[in-house]
Structure 1
Amino acid sequence: MNENPKVLISGASIAGPALAYWLGRYGWRSTVVERASEFRDGGQNIDVRGAGREVLRRAGLEDAVRRANTGEVGTRFLGSGGSIVAEFPVRASESGGATAELEILRGDLARILVDASVAGDLTDYLYGDQIAGIVEGEDDVEVTFESGEQRRFDLVVAADGMRSSTRELVFGGEASVHPLGMETSYFTVPRTATDTPWWNWYNEAGGLAVTLRPDQHGTTRATLSSISYGKVGGSGRSGAVDARSERRTAAEQRARLREQFRDVGWEAPRLLDALDDASDLYFESIGQVKAPHWSRGRVALAGDAAWCASPVSGMGTSLSIVGAYVLAGELASHVHHRDAFAGYERIMRPYVDQAQQLPPGVPRVANPRTRAGLAALHVALRAASTPLVGKLGAKLFAPPADRIELPDYAHLERGRA
């Protein structure tokens, strides 16, 4: 490897900038290419738990993330008319809770990571472009961008999301996306007097869910979710997930949501009325990525492109942050990239496997099909929120965020040892 290796990272959300940041601390130079024309400042609430928080602490970024906290005080499940069924306040825990102690908007965390990554003058961002071709040589990789430009790098890392186009170029169908039968639409709405600092979660029979969450920007983050109880790719008001959702236009998705949620109560009418003014509408079919290998030659996968555990795992952001830290550390620890990639997978694979093991029935169990199922869910939530069975309630919202022994790479840092 060259004395100052050059790495191309595809994707400028969380995993990409985090990787560039850590590589920069080891003296590596990174170029991050992002197909969006500019930095994407939007996004919904995400959280950082367990080992992810420890990585932020080692990076010196935990306080910055804390200052950008959304202010969410806990999670409330609501019933008819918006009545409170059960509530789970934020607890002083680095791993547990439906609402984590560190809650932040995706765009705010991405901004912190991007700013940190460019502070050392070893990271460049290339917006409005993406990788179109990769040809691996003996000593480097020739990359052709969609713009037509060609450049050479020592390594390439795909960190461009669950449906990574870079992964498809290199791995083809070897890695696959496994749908979980749930579709979620995310958007921002104006804050009103009825909004609270809680994550308010409302279900109706048919597998439909409406949530509202606070942010620190004076607006409210909304989601509309639907569950499929038949085969993925079905249609109808039951909330069946369309496997072709990624090909829908925003106008088609708005029409779909109005059809699905037209008779839903609580704040659903308000959200449907706000759809036309929601410039940040984003929708996806929730799934997990299963990849037998996270590297091939000089190309590696990171973040959701490697192992998406899905938003319902509660682990997506923490996995991205920890994975970036481990991949950068292993690259800095080894002379040959093959050994680094092997170490990266050895350390991260058990952590990822745990995160992808969702509780039985998730996500359908939290989005019942029938009124009887919804009533049973409410009974279980009420019980879980009481002091008598509070420990059980805590386990319901405790992903395996700290079940990894983080290596210490501090001795490898340039000018910091």
Structure 2
Amino acid sequence: MSTPKLKVHIVGAGIAGPCLAYWLARTHLDVSITIIERSPSPRVTGQSIDIRGPAVEIVKMMKLQEAVRSRHTTEEGTSFIDSSGNAFAQFDAGDSFTAEYEILRADLSQLFLEATESLDNMKYIFGESVQSFQQTDRGGTVTFTRGSEESFDVVVAADGSTSKTRAMILDEPTLKDSYNFLGQYIAFFSIPSRPNDPKLWQWYNAPKGLSIIIRPHRNSATMGAYLCITTPARGQRDPLIEDAMENGPEDQKRVLRAYLGNAGWEAKRVLAGMDDAEDFYMSRAAQVKLPKWTHGRALVLGDAAFATFGIGTTLAIESAYILAGELSRIKSSSDVPQALERYEEVFRPLFVRSEELPPGFPQIAFPQTAWGLWLRDILLWLVSRSKVYKFFQGDSGISWKLPNYDWENV
């Protein structure tokens, strides 16, 4: 029997796309893969992320466990800071907040890029995006913004929660109300470290949903800084911040200074560092929920399909592995739509275990009033002192056994 040929187009060179490419290259298929990325070069920005549950096993199978460990952010735990700058609650690594596998998003993306870019059947194109997409029963045709056109057997949109390609693949009824803004704006950037900075995730809150967070980097010269502004309810947008989001980084920095200039703790240090940061990025926190991920020979993957606060990286790795596994079972290109359907049948029941956010989150963690903040802090103090959380530890409902697939060179 001849080896099935499969021509795959992936939009997005973040986490899900390169991970999918890695596993597709280890199937018995005669596969050729093109990944395009809108950014002109690999992104160097992004927050600290963690890898949990079956995703850890997948990384081990990719022989990247030690590389991930060597790029650990060095974070040893999480401390909550009061208005006087004192820690009132602390949780060690592995105690819910800081995971065993903590790594910067850019570092993990780079590892996946390095694991795939030298493959003979692999091509990365940066500074490119999809202008339009049309598909028939026999394949899908992609028109690129630079004007070229190419046909593929499979098209995968892995371009994040704000995916532009998603609307080219799924219809209006499927897309309706799929992007859910959580009422939180977050800015990420690096600031210079200080000799007395602890190796802890330091979390400070002020009333009106304001928060300043500092986290250690593997690079001892810098720290990760996070500025959060949370509105009173999910879906509620701040008009001033929305205008700044449209106008670009300088306007975003101006609004952050106005909102957080007098927030207390390390506000002055962080805002001064923000002005000099070369990796500043600001985004909206959102959850993507779709009743369907696939359509014919195309699908959405990772955050483009199911952005989920806190475990998006884990889900991206797991979904890429299972998608490649289901595609590995095709006998010919005509089997692709059925393989995509099988992927959704396998992964959706696993995904739904972890899709729901805690009630009231993120607002409950970023209170609007001094009274609400006091109540939250008392609860955190009680939980940290009593260690009651240790009775409920685990992988937050994301533990399950990986399906078995017939991989080559693994």
TM normalised by structure 1 equals 0.91
Partner of 1:72: 75
CA distance in 1, matches of 2:293, 2:223: 37
Distance in 1 (CA, whole Å) between partners of 2:355 and 2:34 is: 30
Question: Contact 1:243–1:285 (CA<8 Å) still a contact in 2?
Answer: no
Quote the residue 1:239 is aligned against: none
- Does residue 165 (structure 1) correspond to residue 136 (structure 2)? The answer is no
2:306 aligns with: 307
Secondary structure of the corresponding residue to residue 45 of structure 2: coil
**Equivalent residues in 2 for 1:88-127, closer than 5 Å:** 88-91=91-94, 97-127=96-126
1:46 matched residue in structure 2: 49
Question: How many Å separate the matches in 1 of 2:280 and 2:163?
Answer: 20
Aligned-partner Cα distance in 2 for 1:291–1:157? 15
What's 2:182 paired with?
180
Counterparts of 1:255-404 in structure 2 under 5 Å? 255-310=254-309, 314-335=310-331, 336-391=335-390, 395=393, 398-402=395-399, 404=400
Could you say if the C-alpha distance between residues 379 and 415 of structure 1 is closer, same or farther in structure 2, counting changes exceeding 3 Å?
closer
Residues 279-298 of structure 1 show CA distances to partners (whole Å, capped at 9, x for unaligned) of 21111111111111111111
1:252 to partner: Cα distance: 0.9
Aligned equivalents of 2:196, 2:247: Cα separation in 1:
32
Letter matched to residue 323 of structure 1: S
* Alpha-carbon distance in structure 2 between the residues aligned to 1:345 and 1:382: 42
Out of 192, 204, 207, the residue aligned to residue 206 of structure 2 is 204
Shift of 1:170: 2.1
> Paired residue for 1:18?
19
Q: For residue 108 of structure 1, report the CA deviation from its aligned partner.
A: 0.5
CA contact under 8 A between 1:232 and 1:243: conserved in structure 2?
no
Shift of the 249–2 alpha-carbon distance from structure 1 to 2, 3 Å rule, reads farther
Counterpart secondary structure, 2:396: coil
Q: 1:379, CA displacement in angstroms?
A: 1.0
Moved more, 22-31 or 321-330: 22-31
Which of the numbers 390, 401, 405 marks the counterpart of 2:401? Answer: 405
Kindly indicate whether the alpha-carbon contact (under 8 Å) linking 1:245 and 1:284 is maintained by their aligned counterparts in 2.
no
- Letter of the 1:11 partner, please give it: G
Partner SS, residue 286 of structure 2: strand
Q: Distance in 1 between matches of 2:286 and 2:123?
A: 31
Q: Secondary structure at the match of 2:376?
A: helix
Kindly state the Cα deviation for residue 350 of structure 1 after the two structures are TM-superposed: 2.3
Change in 2 beyond 3 A, CA 1:415/1:98: closer
Paired residues of 1:21 and 1:118 also in contact (CA < 8 A): no
How many Å separate the matches in 1 of 2:90 and 2:227?
20
1:15–1:159 Cα contact (<8 Å) kept? yes
Q: In 2 relative to 1, CA 199–280 (structure 1 residues): closer, same or farther, beyond 3 Å?
A: same
- Give the share of equivalent positions with the same residue, in percent: 36
Q: Give the unaligned 5+ runs of structure 1.
A: 237-241
Instruction: Give the aligned partner of residue 195 of structure 2.
Output: 193
Q: Which one is further off, 16-25 or 51-60?
A: 51-60
One of 50, 54, 58 as aligned partner of 1:55: 58
- Give how far 1:120 is off: 3.3
Task: Tell me whether 318-327 or 170-179 shows the greater mean CA deviation.
Answer: 170-179
> Following superposition, which runs of at least 4 residues in structure 1 exceed 6 angstroms of deviation?
none
- Aligned-partner SS, 1:342: helix
Q: State whether residues 7 and 154 of structure 1, in contact with CA within 8 Å, keep that contact through their aligned partners in structure 2.
A: yes
Whole-angstrom distance in 1 between the partners of 2:54 and 2:319: 10
Contact 2:77–2:97 (Cα < 8 Å) also in 1? yes
> CA 1:11–1:244 in 2, change beyond 3 Å: closer, same or farther?
farther
Q: Deviations over 1:307-356 (max 9, x none)?
A: 1113xxx2110000000000000111233112211221112212322222
- TM-score normalised per structure 2: 0.92
**Offset, 1:71:** 0.6
Tell which deviates more after alignment, 18-27 or 132-141: 132-141
Number of aligned residues: 399
